[in-house]
Structure 1
Amino acid sequence: MVIDKILTAIFGSQNDRDVKKLRPLLAAVNEKESWAKSLAAEEFPKQTAVFKERLAKGETLDDILPEAFALAREAAFRVLGERAYDVQIMGSLVLHSGRITEMKTGEGKTLMCVPAVYLNSLSGKGVHVVTVNDYLAERDADWMRPVYAYLGQTVGSILSNMDNEARKAAYNCDITYGTNNELGFDYLRDNMQIDLARKVQRGFNFCVVDEIDSILIDEARTPLIISGQGEDDTYKYHEVDKYVDQLTEVEKDPKTGDYPDEVDMDPEARKNIKGDYKIDEKSKRVSFTDAGINKIDEILHKHNLIPAGTAVVDEENFEFVHYFTQAVRAHKLYKADVDYLVRDGQVQIVDEFTGRVLEGRRYGDGLHQAIEAKEHLRIAQRNRTLATITFQNFFRMYNKLSGMTGTAATEAVEFNKIYNLDVVAIPTNRPVARIDENDEVYLNEEDKWEAICKEIKEAHAKGQPVLVGTVSVEKSEHLSALLTKKGIRHEVLNAKNHAREAMIIAEAGAKGAVTIATNMAGRGTDIKLGGNPEFRARKRAGTNATEEQYEAAYKIEKEQWLKDNEEVKACGGLYVIGSERHESRRIDNQLRGRSGRQGDPGRSKFFISMDDDLMRLFGGERMKVMMSRIGMQPGEPIDHPWLNKGIAKAQAKVEDRNFEIRKHLLDYDDVLNEQRTVIYNQRDQLLADDNLADRVLNNAKDAVEQMFYSYTHSGRKNQEAAAAALNEEIRNTFGIQLPPERLTEDALLAALQNDITEKETLAGKENLNMFIRYQYVQIIDKKWLDQLEALESLREAVSLRSYGSKNPLTEYKIDGFNMFDEMMDTIRSTVMSRVFKVRIQLSPQAAEQRRQAAMRSHSSMNAQHSEAASVSQSVSRSAGAQLSGDAARRQAAGGVMQRHTTGQSVTVRRTSPKIGRNDPCPCGSGKKYKMCCGRNA
């Protein structure tokens, strides 16, 4: 510690060295000032074009920095009449370097950021300037738009009431102003779109965050969440559970103990199978027979659960097959006190390996709800989190992040550890003349409020403006009531109306003004001593005044303001009173910073009582008793520098605690963030991919390889049983069956390739691609919602594992990524299975054309396939066939795609005569239909 002080005394602090490094760059910018002044107005946008050309040829932003900064400063001077001070240029250099600029209140941060924003906008990738509310976003954009327009750059602003088209236009501007909330929500909404063209944002290049400490620290613990009402399907689980006992298991062969083999069974024979469902205990799967589907259909109609005239296999009713599937699994495959426990009105999963309860885990895909219905527990409907992200992880997506504030030094460690941002404090343009007095500490809260009222009354009587900061709306209203009783006129600002906030704060420096506000109120607005002549001129001239009328009014108000300004300065400037200390020193410094801008005089003081939250929490009644014992009397304040140091230490402890909480939350959110990034990237790739059939085939190859690997290395002595099991797995996964003599990996892959090729021919490649894309997006979105809920439950549960000497965070990471891997595998396998199980059904006209064409070309299979392709093309052109369900509503296509659930056979609606599997194939080959064109049917 001593060595650090000696080194600092010799070489200066780190901040001193950082500021010193900026001076050569500042000198280079100042050297170009005369060049910028020599340019005509029409040359400014031309020079911008020159900069862009230089960047395109390989120069960097740093190469053109001096000229660009000088040009931006001159443009601001010509348009606004304000020339950026050297300290403002230094602050802008810090922003460009991807760091945080700390500049005192009133030093002109809005103008300061213009050179850095302009320079980085030349890359063509966009710059985001983030503010804390809509009012400031719109105000700053309107204020600086003429400057950027003078330079040839476009400016947009994102407001909460804008539609998608307006947002997209604003994001496509060179510079975009917006709030942290709107930018974050737009990111989440973009990643819920099913069409890339509907996205509004175009990437995250460079960001300047105004009041960065407020956004990245104060709001860091509050994530952005888009939620929607979850579908109220709880009653469906209960209804299905009432009737699930009416379904029966398929009778097994008494000799072999196996279910009837449906591979080569005649369709008529399949109807005679007794029973409604089959159970695979090993994989815990359930599949329904044709009779089972019909039985479900009968039950649903009998109890009016689906509309008359519809069938359970219809797209709008097909979900009931899923509910019955899960109900059968819950009753037949999952047992209480074995697979799960019922405890405290909840179903808790038991780990099959350890026998311990997996706290916070839930079965997915509706199984958990089915078990709750089985156990007659309450199934609560709740909102589903559709998408979520924290500000911490959102802003870390930018290639370069910077920010500006008046108070960041106290949080420098957090900025560095969380965001890898360094803080550079820029010297003020003029020395600070504000007097910061020691705190006054009172024994009771009543004494403190009485002292504050007395202080306000004295300052008001001599014409000194007073700004009182409170920590809550309740306290501000309490003080307002006390001042009203004493007859002191005042304004109360609770930050409910951002536009009104700016007007009140603008007049807070008027002679004799008394303003009560929360400590955060007024950030980003300017308090001028003597009041605001612009605001007063607008008020005097009226809303419909002409430019000439406004100018006349402004002249009058300007003269009056000059007099008031001198009088207020003579009174000591703005007097800032803090009604209590905040947990963070930074918030107190922000309040103090409202006074003493640009070398103006000012004064600040905090009034504290032993009943305040900070003193109570870190001193308690013991300190209050001790203060009484040493002679502190009610109504008498204590004022000493040592007391200030003690309070500062207490605040530092609270800041450290809050930092640890935010760091802890971020550690957990990083797990979710990594998964979210993968999911969103996968989603974008799928939306942009025009050949998804290849993706499906690649997934199928992996699945087939795994199937045959398990088959080859199963170690079973009974190869016939192993082959039957493999064939059953192939049927459940792909919906096709191979003869025993063709049960090879190559034959299966060839069959799958033929299946995809045929579907592309019948439906058209574009339509098939669209169907696959829709299936992917639909399943990804559903599974991601389930994953968000599962991670939320897991996060609540892992804290208990600390009792087992385990690190909850490590446990969360392990379980979270295992769940994510399972989810990704499920997405791939589900889409793959759906695509292969879907069947094309042509319209009657198209089917007849295809049948006649096939009969005419029986002499050659090649000719038959060629004819089928031509018929398919004609069908596509005439829109004679269509995709079913949601796909039908999106595109007319060459065939109907109907989904089969895993391990079940659903009757496909027919529009042409049925062909028996043992009938002659209509193609004229002479073979049975099941051995020819019906082989994969």
Structure 2
Amino acid sequence: MLGIGTLAKKVFGTPNDRKIKATRPVINQINALADEYQALSDAQLIEKTASLKERVAGGESLDDILPEAFATCREAARRALGLWAHDVQLMGGIFLHQGNIAEMKTGEGKTLVATFPAYLNALTGRGVHVVTVNDYLARRDASWMSKVFAALGMTTGVVYPQQPEPEKREAYACDITYATNNELGFDYLRDNMKSELSQMAQRDHYFAIVDEVDSILVDEARTPLIISGPAQDRSELYQALDAVIPELTEDHYTIDEKTRNVTYTDEGNEFLEQRLHQMGLLPEGQTLYDPESTTIVHHVNQGLRAHKLFAKDKDYIVRNGEVVLIDEFTGRMMAGRRLSDGLHQAIEAKEGCKIQPENVTLASVTFQNYFRLYDKLGGMTGTALTEAEEFMEIYKLGVVEVPTNRPVARIDEDDAVYRTAREKYEAIVEEIKKASVTGQPVLVGTTSIEKSEMLSMMLQQAGIKHNVLNARQHEQEAQIVADAGKLGAVTIATNMAGRGTDIKLGGNVEMKIMEAIEANPDADPDQIRTQIEESHKADEEAVKAAGGLFVLATERHESRRIDNQLRGRSGRQGDPGRSSFFLSLEDDLMRIFGSERLDKVLSTLGMKEGEAIVHPWVNKSLERAQAKVEGRNFDIRKQLLKFDDVMNDQRKVIFSQRREIMEAQDLSEIVQDMRYQVIEDLVEEYMPPRSYADQWNTEGLQAALIENLNQDLPVVAWADEEGVDNEDIEERIQNASDEYMASKAAHFGPEAMRQIEKQILLQTIDTKWREHLLTLEHLRSVVGFRGYAQRDPLNEYKTEAFQLFEGLLESLRLEVTKTLSRIQPLTKEQQEQLLAQMQSQRAALDASVEAAEAPESAAPTPLVQGFDETDQTTWGNPGRNDPCPCGSGEKFKHCHGSF
């Protein structure tokens, strides 16, 4: 018997079906224009763009011109790339333009889909941003799709790290700009640290199309983007505390793997207190519970986290004496990214690496709040439905499942669950052997570098030839992925496996052609292409006959989405393929989330060694466990966002104020209002309203005016006059301050005075905002404890953050007034000295900004010619204290000599 919901779906269709049905008439309109547009010349196609722009400027909506714009773009793609967009690709483009997420399976051509809404929205003259997950994809997509946009008379730009400023501004001025999410966020922060409008790179936040939207807006949204500068060096403290952690026993702390938290027990606190007193890190008579101990307690906690929660070769690797984090979602190295609050320093101490100084935050923003700046947002991915609730709640983005161009022919097998990890890995090796006998290519998905290398050793022992793709081999990623679909290929990969790159059956034909042309530069390229395309067809058919790509996953991830991404590598565009998950009760997900009951069931069934349980019910219970974890992670992100929203409202106020200041020609009125407000506050403080004259503190007011306005005014004498009240005195002070500032302006010259006011305002805002960010960080770290007093931490944070912001504005007025009243004209020598000082400060800030988000630093130039890191005979014979021959600038004993 059918349920009501199922019956309703049968009669009315699902909401997704209805959305797809609604696009059919529009797609028919686009298809109807195809012949007419094919007959146009290249020049007429560019003229179409000009006429569509005119119509938009004349008031026509983008929806009105959508069929013509899409038909124009489709024809341009056919001419520029030889690609003819399928109906489902047009459908995906329509959903993106409407501000939805188009969920399209791997291999459905999402890169081309983005060109349609990008072109349509760029007709408004406001820039469109296409966002990718890494710099390689941003450059690849920009150079590839720029051919389409050029055929339409549109300009394309690409933004990348360490780009020269003029080139960056040019890229943002283009009609369509390709960039990574990190670079966009950092440029937004950098722009709001600039002192002139002409230096700002981003012009608008109109429409962004986010590729791999789930990775960018969900996975990476847990950590904010931070631009920071160096703080004081505390290396010795980290090293001293690191020596204490190995002395702890299991009674001294508890670990909660679900929340990734560690806490000290009472015994642990007593032991620490004793040891810290002995080491002189905690003064005699002071306990860990005293407010003065906050800093030391914080660092001791971070040391424990570094040792017990962060594992080498899983969460980070040590490379050239540096701790490099590994992205848990993509398995890629995150060079330049550092953990905050001293945690990275604690890991450096643990690994015996050089400890880099901590950083102070100069500016920060979360991806959620950055992408919510856009008037309109769209996204594409192969997997978003599982996070549909989060996309709707946080970004107001609906998720629409776009049908595939051809039916999916992949066979998804039920999960196989083994008792132990050893049994599981043995079964995996056997399964790979079976597949390689038939020549079926296998992609083995693992969750960490460590596991990928362990499995690689097992395959070596079994004599199975294979490739390994993890963060250590990320430079060869494109090559390994290109070979992964060849007959008999076995590829072990962490979950970085080819996001944005297709695994094609029989191998990547374009890659083969490029290699052949490089090997024979004198041969005819067309002839090479024809030969390789012919042989490739036979290879492709052989792989299809063997069953297509076999995706074999060795573990379930916390998120169903990442599992689906791995599955989606196989069975693209109607190709055959199969996928299977091999699990054990010792896997992290199974261990942490309810494997006890399953273990009892398996014991009761009397399972033999090497036997697996395979049943749809197991899949269901695993999905429920994953949904629980996803729900918990969503709650964490939602909570983080609620706190960040408080700061975001303040950030918007500060950034818009800065922009207004930069746009304004004359700030004298703003400065005067600030001065008047300071005077009013001072008069109110020393001569309270509705008080008697004998209660006034006129001497205190006179001293305060010397301090804050740099003026010695006869306030005491004024107060002795008959019939004078505090309002009269306030007015006299205002008039005297106006005269004083007018004489200063005359001295400097009106033009110079306006510039001085602007620079002082901007510098003071920046300094105060940085101090405010630090205060908010500290408030955030302690406000959670208010929950113990039955008070809502979020409300407490909102209230106190608002009070702090009011304090910020008050101190801003005071500081600006004080500084302006004290400035004096400089001699020529002083001017030159000040200019040099400001330039060096600016350079230091720029360097810290670059370091904060620098991608991989360029390889050092070796001191020894022919230096090879893997061959010690090429290193020469350096002494332990000599500079390392690799050119890193480190001593040999601290660099390659420590290996």
TM norm structure 1: 0.74
Decide which structure has the larger Cα Rg and report it. 1
Deviation at 1:774, TM superposition (A): 2.1
- Matched letter for residue 381 of structure 2: T
| Identity across the alignment (%) | 49
Deviation at 1:346, TM superposition (A): 6.2
Q: Of 601, 607, 613, which residue of structure 2 is paired with 1:632?
A: 607
Whether 1:471 aligns to 2:447 is yes
Give the alignment of 1:576-595 within 5 angstroms.
Answer: 576-595=551-570
Partner Cα distance (2:90, 2:753) in 1: 57
- What's 1:623 paired with? 598
Whether 1:171 aligns to 2:151 is no
Partner Cα distance (2:53, 2:615) in 1: 59
Partner Cα distance (1:461, 1:392) in 2: 48
Give the alignment of 1:521-532 within 5 angstroms.
Answer: 521-532=497-508
Deviation at 1:387, TM superposition (A): 1.4
- What's 1:200 paired with? 201
- What's 1:865 paired with? none
- What's 1:644 paired with? 619
Tell me if structure 1 keeps the 8 A contact 2:226–2:361: yes
In the alignment, structure 1 segments of 5+ residues that lack a partner are 235-335, 349-379, 844-879, 892-937
Deviation at 1:42, TM superposition (A): 1.1
Tell me if structure 2 keeps the 8 A contact 1:771–1:887: no
Q: 1:194 to 1:519 in 2, by over 3 A?
A: same
Give the alignment of 1:8-157 within 5 angstroms.
Answer: 8-157=9-158
Q: 1:881 to 1:660 in 2, by over 3 A?
A: same
- Aligned CA-pair RMSD: 2.6
Partner Cα distance (1:884, 1:72) in 2: 55
Deviation at 1:625, TM superposition (A): 3.8
- Matched letter for residue 12 of structure 2: F
Deviation at 1:231, TM superposition (A): 6.0
- Matched letter for residue 754 of structure 1: E
TM-superposition CA deviations, 1:545-595 (whole Å, max 9, x none): 37x733222211111111111111111111111111111111111111111
Whether 1:801 aligns to 2:786 is yes
TM-superposition CA deviations, 1:638-673 (whole Å, max 9, x none): 111111111111111111111111111111111121
Give the alignment of 1:404-803 within 5 angstroms.
Answer: 404-495=380-471, 500-542=476-518, 545=521, 549-709=524-684, 713-719=688-694, 721-740=696-715, 742=718, 744-803=729-788
Deviates more, 1:699-708 or 1:46-55: 699-708
Task: Give the 3-state SS of the residue equivalent to 1:726 in structure 2.
Answer: helix
Give the alignment of 1:886-901 within 5 angstroms.
Answer: 886=834
Q: Say how many residue pairs are matched.
A: 720
Task: Give the 3-state SS of the residue equivalent to 2:628 in structure 1.
Answer: helix
Q: 1:24 to 1:631 in 2, by over 3 A?
A: same
Tell me if structure 2 keeps the 8 A contact 1:882–1:888: no
Task: Give the 3-state SS of the residue equivalent to 2:497 in structure 1.
Answer: coil
- Matched letter for residue 619 of structure 1: G
Deviation at 1:839, TM superposition (A): 4.1
Deviation at 1:773, TM superposition (A): 2.1
Deviation at 1:495, TM superposition (A): 4.5
Tell me if structure 1 keeps the 8 A contact 2:86–2:405: yes
Q: 1:76 to 1:759 in 2, by over 3 A?
A: same
- Matched letter for residue 515 of structure 1: T
Partner Cα distance (2:587, 2:829) in 1: 75
Deviation at 1:142, TM superposition (A): 1.1
Partner Cα distance (1:544, 1:749) in 2: 84
Task: Give the 3-state SS of the residue equivalent to 1:10 in structure 2.
Answer: helix
Partner Cα distance (1:479, 1:524) in 2: 25
Tell me if structure 2 keeps the 8 A contact 1:576–1:595: yes
TM-superposition CA deviations, 1:234-274 (whole Å, max 9, x none): 9xxxxxxxxxxxxxxxxxxxxxxxxxxxxxxxxxxxxxxxx
Tell me if structure 2 keeps the 8 A contact 1:520–1:591: no
TM-superposition CA deviations, 1:725-757 (whole Å, max 9, x none): 333333332121333555623322221221222
Partner Cα distance (1:226, 1:475) in 2: 34
- What's 1:372 paired with? none
TM-superposition CA deviations, 1:580-617 (whole Å, max 9, x none): 11111111111111111111111111001111111111
- Matched letter for residue 828 of structure 1: R
TM-superposition CA deviations, 1:775-825 (whole Å, max 9, x none): 222222221121111111111101100000000111111111111110111
- Matched letter for residue 574 of structure 2: G
Deviates more, 1:483-492 or 1:882-891: 882-891
TM-superposition CA deviations, 1:261-313 (whole Å, max 9, x none): xxxxxxxxxxxxxxxxxxxxxxxxxxxxxxxxxxxxxxxxxxxxxxxxxxxxx
Q: 1:497 to 1:687 in 2, by over 3 A?
A: farther
- Matched letter for residue 189 of structure 1: R
Deviation at 1:118, TM superposition (A): 0.8
Q: 1:724 to 1:688 in 2, by over 3 A?
A: same
Partner Cα distance (1:839, 1:418) in 2: 51
Partner Cα distance (2:126, 2:71) in 1: 22
Tell me if structure 1 keeps the 8 A contact 2:23–2:91: yes
- Matched letter for residue 823 of structure 1: L
Tell me if structure 1 keeps the 8 A contact 2:687–2:698: no
Partner Cα distance (1:881, 1:196) in 2: 29
- What's 1:818 paired with? 803
- Matched letter for residue 225 of structure 2: L
Deviation at 1:695, TM superposition (A): 1.2
- Matched letter for residue 542 of structure 2: E
Partner Cα distance (1:819, 1:708) in 2: 23
In the alignment, structure 2 segments of 5+ residues that lack a partner are 236-284, 298-355, 720-728, 840-899
Give the alignment of 1:379-398 within 5 angstroms.
Answer: 382-398=358-374
TM-superposition CA deviations, 1:511-569 (whole Å, max 9, x none): 111111112321111121111121111111216837x7332222111111111111111
Partner Cα distance (1:41, 1:84) in 2: 19
- What's 1:913 paired with? none
Deviation at 1:689, TM superposition (A): 2.3
Partner Cα distance (1:608, 1:487) in 2: 24
TM norm structure 2: 0.77
Q: 1:204 to 1:545 in 2, by over 3 A?
A: farther
Partner Cα distance (1:890, 1:615) in 2: 57
TM-superposition CA deviations, 1:333-372 (whole Å, max 9, x none): xxx99xx975436699xxxxxxxxxxxxxxxxxxxxxxxx
- Matched letter for residue 293 of structure 2: D
Deviation at 1:95, TM superposition (A): 0.5
Tell me if structure 2 keeps the 8 A contact 1:135–1:499: no
Q: 1:503 to 1:3 in 2, by over 3 A?
A: same
- Matched letter for residue 52 of structure 1: K
Task: Give the 3-state SS of the residue equivalent to 1:79 in structure 2.
Answer: helix
Tell me if structure 2 keeps the 8 A contact 1:436–1:603: yes
Deviation at 1:712, TM superposition (A): 5.8
Q: 1:140 to 1:499 in 2, by over 3 A?
A: farther
Q: 1:598 to 1:346 in 2, by over 3 A?
A: closer
Deviation at 1:711, TM superposition (A): 5.8
Task: Give the 3-state SS of the residue equivalent to 1:583 in structure 2.
Answer: coil
TM-superposition CA deviations, 1:693-716 (whole Å, max 9, x none): 221111122233344455664454
Q: 1:889 to 1:654 in 2, by over 3 A?
A: closer
Partner Cα distance (2:511, 2:376) in 1: 37
